[in-house]
Structure 1
């Protein structure tokens, strides 16, 4: 699946093109991953196999989401900037597995079909990959793809189920046990370790995500994308120092054969520089990433965040509006609208903030921080029942530790100041400290409300 993490906004899928590349691929599925998990897993492993050989590969999941809107593989290629869309279908009949790959140019012209059979999905995939190399040879060189990632059919099947679950909104809890089962079947199955790290990050279990990424690198030390994700994770946890994070990002940047990882490492390095308030240097890194992948939202999104931190609200809004217009990028659209809501709150445009947060939740209903911040906007508008409901919804989701802690704290403030219910407020502050134990502001809130009692 080749999911990539950036420090600003947790996870974003790498769906982009390299304008300097002669060709690029996107792997898509023609059926819902939930209905055809083997096809989803096959597409994900093909993308993983092709990623480090100098061809920019867009993960199947982003392609599938675009396809839902556009209808045809060629439309997917146009949306994400790929030269060729490879539609993947995996079927089983009796003791045989068939992998069918249909290649489409952005013009819509079919440029080839690969069909391979094997005794199990992995055998069929190995043959399909060999035949795909031959089909693409005149225009695109796939030298020494990374294969096989595992020799365990059980590991692949569990991985495929995990990929299918993770592709659904709020699917991380269902995906986790499948990736763990895949790893139990083959502890050297690096793609499963990587995806487990991504799922744990989604669930807010960041220290565990670090351990999963480290396990993935033990199995596959040259995975540039895993180096990137580990670098990001180290920036956001107590598992390492900034120097450790930078070392991982530099390892990703050193990978000349994985252009996607290089591009995202520039974004992540920019985030590290921004963390140190070196905004000019950070913006240079984002612009480098933007040149490498002009259609991906991550550079624009982070440029928008940096403009917010520089208090250049006009520039920030312009950049974030551009991301919000990328309708095939559901997660990025949600992040952009959430940030636009934060910007509106800063400027005391509370009604507009409500609109932005609601649009973020349309794109991503399980976005806990958007629920939490929508509650803050309602509180500013004196709509206290609505504010409390949004805080409680963020708490109920409990899919991001920071968001859950913030929601408990905000609900505590509402109970303490507007509703005069100090005992309940104190309980909320105690719960907030469980999620953010070192937060001095929450501790002061608790002491203040206990003094009232």
Structure 2
């Protein structure tokens, strides 16, 4: 078979030819590449599949897909080509097409554990397909009982379903089978923290940091610091972030978390912290929050509906700090237009499929300030927990609302009496006192209609209490 390939793909194929001892063919192809931007490559089916898989591994998805599809024109039922094209489309978020190719491949690859594991990964992206994902991973383990990746992935399914002991056993087995398995040690440590088994959490998370000495260890550090606080060793928690900030002085996460541990009180988290945190969290955001019983979007949607009785339209709505769009899907039907904005490009990419008329990468207060009288409704779920001082937000929201417009948001609750209106908590989020919220909204000109307390989610198997606030711009 033959096809046109760009210079990068042709160069990779030339390298393959050299490794196979076909020096003359490699040199001829390299000469063509020097002269032309594209080269017509002739190769056997097996060579083409090998090249496509190499491009796939190097994340050259577009050219890999071209070759996979060319191979399927020659042999539409080839199991591995269908399978790997399905894997590629899954990585590219084209899940419906991915499922079609993967299902076709499984008819012929049903005796291959690795294929069942890949199939489980595709199914596990959809929370509604958890039982099917479990079946796929369990089939992989029946075929290959000592398959560490399948054990880890099955643990994720069990944890999401609340079967924590089953999840624990699978994570532990994955680390026993593969002692350098960073992800399994992280998942094990995360679960130990949730179960309040903090000594064991520290050991697992320490191992994950040793195995993965780069930026992806941030959550391991945060969780391990939390575990040290829980066992009454806050000095070790502080030391983790002090050492991290010294090693990476420009890392916004390290700087913010050090401030949180040391009792500092910046007015708000830096934009760079928010972007770094949520861009890295975007792919797993929805699934992680579902395991925490996350209720803030539902609570905000209910409060907004209460402020618009008799099914009145929410009008033009701004979803401030929209994230992946969990609020948007709940309020879309009653909006004339729905506009979302967030600092994280990764989160906005996830929100694209959730019905927004517009999505913008923007800082919250700046975006609202630029749109005077633009909105009938503004909502914000669990975004202002990264703000301490609320005066700038309240002023911007007042200006952006139309007459009689409604503002609904959540913040974490700082209960009891005290002179401090807000506090930066050791976990890195802010909590606020009720009186402080009322004061800042009133100063901005908003009328507070309701402030009530409810559980926003769970953390360490304990409820996280928050204020659900409804305010209105006077007519």
- For CA contacts below 8 A with separation 6 or more, give which structure has more relative contact order: 1
| TM-score for both structures, normalised by structure 2 | 0.46
Q: Which has the higher helix share?
A: 1
- Structure number with larger C-alpha Rg: 2
Q: Which has the higher strand share?
A: 2
